[in-house]
Amino acid sequence: MKQTLYIIFFLIILQSCDKRQVKIHPAKENITESVYASGIVKSRDQYEVFSPVNGLIQKIFVREGDTVKKNDAIIEVKSETAKLNIENAKLTLENAEVRANMDKLNEAQTNIIFLKSKLKNDSSLLERQRNLWNNNIGTRNELEQRELAYKNDLASYKGAVYRYDELYRQLNFNAAQSKNNLKINQTLANDFIIKSRINGKVYSLAKEDGEMVTTQSPIAVIGGTGSFILELEVDEYDIEKIKPGQKVLITMDSYKNKIFEATVTRIIPFMNDRTRSFTIEGTFDTKPPVLYPNLTVEANILIQSKENVITIPLDYLIDDSLVRLTADKKRKVITGLKDYQKVEILSGLSVGDEIIKPEQ
């Protein structure tokens, strides 16, 4: 019994050694380097609809699947804050208008009339004092006092006129500003009827009548009706390989065992810090019969292809530059294109060489 167990154990060891020492020859094959990406289908011009204010949905004018034209009403939002803002703006305008401040203007004008009369009187007294002085009547001090009084009254009069003009200008400015503020609030209130930005289709409604909405959460999705695009995420490690015009092979869970062709059309030049990836866009060359927004896709973006080149399985390559000839002998190689299964050997191996799989 023990002898039988030893034999079985020995055979297992031999079998294990054989697995580690599997030998292969490099092969001449075609190879295509590609970059993997995942993403979704989007309708062209697709966008999320947000409310400009926090409030309650007063009315929804459309249903999911409806086609809409640009500026068609989608949703009406009721906001008490907006109403209060309009009322406050009206009150501010009423208080800012010139006619509401006539008391201030009349007071300033009365002061001007008084100072003008005083200035006229002091001017007469000054003229009289000068005539007396010219006839050697009166003192120099009396003349200087009259001149000083006239100058002070003239300065006071000019100051009063300036203050009146400034008050009138400021009141007109405040009134105009209040009118603009009222118009802005009224315009914002009109904006609470949310309208479509495009000719398209309502793909999704996230809210119902009477529900609360905020400025932070989307309430609908609207997009074009006849055209769809691909939105793919590419790792930052691979983005330098991607160029507009490259071909893309697309697979979709909704179309099992089918491959669709597409083309890269645009690279968004900004990296998502959270996912460390870039967004690229593409269009279908061969389009599935039916598409909907947010269908998931997987993609292989074709970088370049070569025919009839020397290749080895990718798992036979050590540290991107070595292969194992025997258990204790390695050889340096220069590699070229890679796909997910094999790698091109530019130099260091020929089809007649034997290599073994490295130990994992």
β 329-332/73-78 pair status: unpaired
One domain for residues 205 and 322: no
Q: What is the mean pLDDT of residues 194-211?
A: 92
237 and 354: one domain? yes
Q: Per the domain annotation, does 17 fall within a domain?
A: no
In a domain, 7, yes or no: no
Reduced to 3 states (helix: H, G, I; strand: E, B; else coil), residue 203 is strand
* DSSP of 233-286: EEETTTGGG--TT-EEEEEETTEEEEEEEEEEEEEEEEEETTTTEEEEEEEESS
Say yes or no: 259 and 297 in one domain.
yes
CB 291, CB 41: distance < 8 Å: yes
Predicted confidence band of residue 135 (pLDDT cuts 50, 70, 90): confident
Helix 140-190 vs helix 80-96: crossing angle, to nearest 10: 150
pLDDT at 9: 46
| In a shared domain, residues 90 and 112 | yes
The model's pLDDT over 167-195, given as tens digits with 9 standing for 90+, comes to 777 777 777 776 766 666 665 555 588 99
Q: Which residues of 15-34 are buried (b: 16+ CB within 10 A; e: fewer)?
A: eeeeeeeeeeebeeeebebb
Q: What is the pLDDT of residues 118-130, one digit of tens each?
A: 778 777 776 777 7
Residue with tokens 């305008």: 93
Same domain, 130 and 170: yes
Same domain (yes/no): 341, 233: yes
Q: Is the pLDDT of residue 226 over 90?
A: no
Same domain (yes/no): 249, 281: yes
Residue 34 has pLDDT above 80, yes or no: yes
* Exposed/middle/buried for residue 175 (C-beta within 10 Å: 0-12, 13-18, 19+): buried
Q: Which residues contact 150 (CB under 8 A, 6 or more apart)?
A: 119, 122, 123, 125, 126
Residue type, 68: V
235-to-26, 107, 279 alpha-carbon distances in Å: 31, 74, 9
Taking residues 42-49, report their average pLDDT: 94
Residue 36 neighbours by CB distance under 10 Å: 13
User: Do 140 and 178 share a structural domain?
Assistant: yes
pLDDT value at residue 311: 94
CATH code of the domain in which 55 resides? 2.40.50.100
User: 75-120, pLDDT tens digit by residue?
Assistant: 998 876 656 565 655 555 455 454 555 667 677 778 777 878 777 8
Shared domain for 67 and 88, answered yes or no, is no
Q: Supply the range of the domain harboring residue 206.
A: 50-77+194-221
Work out how many domains the chain is built from and give that number: 3
Alpha-carbon torsion (344, 346, 352, 356), positive or negative = negative
pTM above 0.75? no
Neighbouring-strand partners of residue 267: 280
Q: How many CB atoms lie within 10 A of CB 125?
A: 14
What is the model's pLDDT at position 144?
Answer: 78
